[in-house]
Amino acid sequence: MKLELTAKQKDAQSEFRAFVNEEIIPYASQCDREEHTPPQLIKKLALRGFLGAAIPEKNGGSGMDAIAYGLLNEEIGRGCSSLRSLLTVHSMVAHVLCKWGSQYQKEHWIPKLASGEAIAAFALSEPNAGSDAKSVETTATPSGNFYILNGKKKWITYGQIADLFLVFTQCEGKSTAFLVEKNRPGLSIKPIVGILGTRASMLAELHLDNCQIPQENLVCRQGFGFSHVASSALDRGRYSVAWGCVGIGQACLEACIQYTSQRQQFGVYLKEHQIIRQMISDAIVNVKAARLLCYQAGYLQEIGDPRSISETSIAKYFASTMAVKVASDAVQIHGGNGCSSDYPVERYFRDAKIMEIIEGSTQIQQITIAESGYQEYGVLPERNVTQQNLVARI
């Protein structure tokens, strides 16, 4: 099998890379220090059509194929993981509405999400519910033509500036998803600062206090919140994160190539030391391997192969662990400089660790991958309740 990008995909990749080099990389460290993404940078993403990358053209989006969308995530991830995370959560909500939204929701929200007129955020995690997302404590109580939402959501990416939240609740014992606008009475937003990595992703905690939501904001049917809505969104999110991790690895590799070609120790450039060459070669191999896994997942998504779900988990698992290893080696190669914010590798290292946690942690991916492996080879292990909950979450 010959793996080669189409001419259109190559052109798109060049466009993405030029945009990142010019508009993102020069400001990424400042955004990280200030824990803030400038509105004008988000506007530039929108004007390029990047916020509507995964939205069909008929709905006002760019209609990128899965591979082109992956390449976009890699390049933005190479420049700034925080900004890439905006693309991730925004696209997750857009994907849900395209697939599960009502006609009204599609007509009202998708064009706004495609143009960047509205920013969307994904509100699943809670103070007491992370990997075991079926145990969310936020409730939705029917009341006439409305639902009354109560609870808290935490670690909501770009929650400080989002116009629309996709909120997951328990409604009469069934998992249910709702659209919640930022100006709804009863919704308050508290910024989260001091996070380890992706510091410019403007995290927030949402407080829902008798927040009244109209019936028309119900997404899909009651009871389908996790099994359909969340699972399809998380699959899209894992794909985006996997490619973003390739971007982190590529950024580390490029930084190390440049640094070892300029820095001298013991009378020679670092690149002449055998142990440094070993670390660089490991980085090259691992980045390329992760990229190939992402290509495979994207190809299967594009042709509608159901194996894309498990292959996406594999790509996310390998790429995220790869990013941590490559970023750690990059810091080591830079020595004391690698611990300074004067060099971007320390930011890459912090951001990489976040990638092992979001959209399903490394351990969750291992459970899911093993489950798929047993099924593929016709052997089904005994599954306890915890495993069932975790797999259902993914």
Tens digit of each residue's pLDDT, the chain (394 residues): 678 999 999 999 999 999 999 999 999 999 999 999 999 999 999 999 999 998 999 999 999 999 999 999 999 999 999 999 999 999 999 999 999 999 999 999 999 999 999 999 999 999 998 777 778 999 999 999 999 999 999 999 999 999 999 999 999 999 999 999 999 999 999 999 999 999 999 999 999 999 999 999 999 988 898 889 999 999 999 999 999 999 999 999 999 999 999 999 999 999 999 999 999 999 999 999 999 999 999 999 999 999 999 999 999 999 999 999 999 999 999 999 999 999 999 999 999 999 999 998 999 899 989 988 888 887 766 555 443 343 333 3
Q: In sequence order, which residues have a C-beta less than 8 Å from that of residue 323 and are 6 or more positions away? A: 245, 246, 248, 249, 252, 290, 348, 352, 355
Active site residue 216: no
b/e per residue 7-19 (b: at least 16 CB within 10 A): eebeebbeebeeb
Residue 60: how many other CB atoms lie within 10 Å: 16
**Would you state the pLDDT for residue 393?**
34
The arrangement of secondary structure in 7-118, i.e. its CATH architecture, is Orthogonal Bundle (1.10)
Q: Distance (Å, rounded) from C-alpha 220 to C-alpha 333? A: 50
Residue 386: what are its φ and ψ, rounded to 5°?
Answer: -60, -45
**Would you state the pLDDT for residue 376?**
80
Choosing from 254, 359, 371, 382, the catalytic residue is 359
Q: Which residue spans of the chain are classified as CATH 1.10.540.10?
A: 7-118
Are the CB atoms for 192 and 153 separated by under 8 Å? Answer: no
Give pTM, 2 decimals: 0.93
**Would you state the pLDDT for residue 1?**
63
Domain 226-393 fold is Butyryl-CoA Dehydrogenase, subunit A; domain 3 (1.20.140)
Domain 121-222 fold is Butyryl-CoA Dehydrogenase, subunit A; domain 2 (2.40.110)
Q: Which residue spans of the chain are classified as CATH 2.40.110.10?
A: 121-222
